[in-house]
Amino acid sequence: ATVGVVWRTVELGTASSWALTVFLPVTTTYETLTFMAWIIPLVFLLMERRYRFPGVGAIITGLAFAMLAIAASPAIAPRQVAPVVPSLQSYWLVIHVLFMIVGISLFTVGFGANLLLLWRRYRGMEPAKLQKLEELSYKANTLGFPFYGIGGLIFGGIWAKHAWGAYWEWDPKETAMLIAWLAYALYLHARLRWGWRDLKVAWLSVAAFLVVLYTWIGINYFIASLHSFT
């Protein structure tokens, strides 16, 4: 129920931003954070219908609020709503970002499930009792993997060709995105081929998600990039 309330609240803010800019609000870090805070609870609510596990919803709610808090920080929140610059008024950009957002939202659900799994394991709960949590994390990460890859490597390349004249420039954010995608490829390989379970695979998933976070938010503030406008 709490997740549903958060989703409805953020929905109003996202709709307002969309109305003011007359463009899907996914062109800046502030917009993607607020949009993500709307998508993540929605993705979780859809998955919870099958994988019900007490506690995950509270973590997802906390993560959504954390994204809103980061978006509202002085370093990210805009002082006024500005029109979208022409180079960003591309539907290839919208498709690229939407696929990435769905992928990251699914990764976030997997991350939340793994946080709860790690917490309960270190409190002594047996692995057999946490099987649903691992299944939720695995399913979310498995679904997020193609969305993140297709959105970043394919649609991102098409948009880059339109915006900068090249499909791939080895830009810091492009490179970091590729590393994050390969980190999740390693996670899936470790689980499917090497038979990793429980703590090892949970920690690997958490590490991969932290790379995604750095790629999405952190790199904009530490390294000059073609994506610095985001």
23-76 pLDDT tens trace: 566 777 888 888 888 889 888 988 888 777 778 888 998 998 888 888 888 877
Work out how many domains the chain is built from and give that number: 1
Return the pLDDT at 93: 85
Return the pLDDT at 48: 83
Contact 214, 130 (CB under 8 A): no
Instruction: Give the residue with greater pLDDT, 139 vs 26.
Output: 139
Contact 25, 34 (CB under 8 A): yes
Sequence-distant (≥ 6) Cβ neighbours of residue 115 within 8 angstroms: 59, 206
Residue 82 in domain: no
Within 10 angstroms of residue 27's Cβ, the number of other Cβ atoms is 22
Residue 191 in domain: yes
Residue 99 in domain: yes
Residue 183 has pLDDT above 90, yes or no: yes
Question: How far is Cα 219 from Cα 211, in angstroms, rounded to an integer?
Answer: 10
Contact 77, 71 (CB under 8 A): yes
Question: How far is Cα 41 from Cα 8, in angstroms, rounded to an integer?
Answer: 10
Contact 113, 156 (CB under 8 A): no
Sequence-distant (≥ 6) Cβ neighbours of residue 64 within 8 angstroms: 3, 6, 10, 37, 40, 41
Residue 217 in domain: yes
Give mean pLDDT, residues 131-152. 94
Question: How far is Cα 227 from Cα 149, in angstroms, rounded to an integer?
Answer: 18
Structural domain range at position 45? 2-75+87-221
Residue 227 in domain: no
Residue 174 in domain: yes
| pLDDT grade for 141, boundaries at 50, 70 and 90 | very high
Residue 186 in domain: yes
- 171 phi/psi in degrees, rounded to 5: -60, 145
Residue 91 in domain: yes
Question: How far is Cα 17 from Cα 19, in angstroms, rounded to an integer?
Answer: 5
Question: How far is Cα 14 from Cα 32, in angstroms, rounded to an integer?
Answer: 10
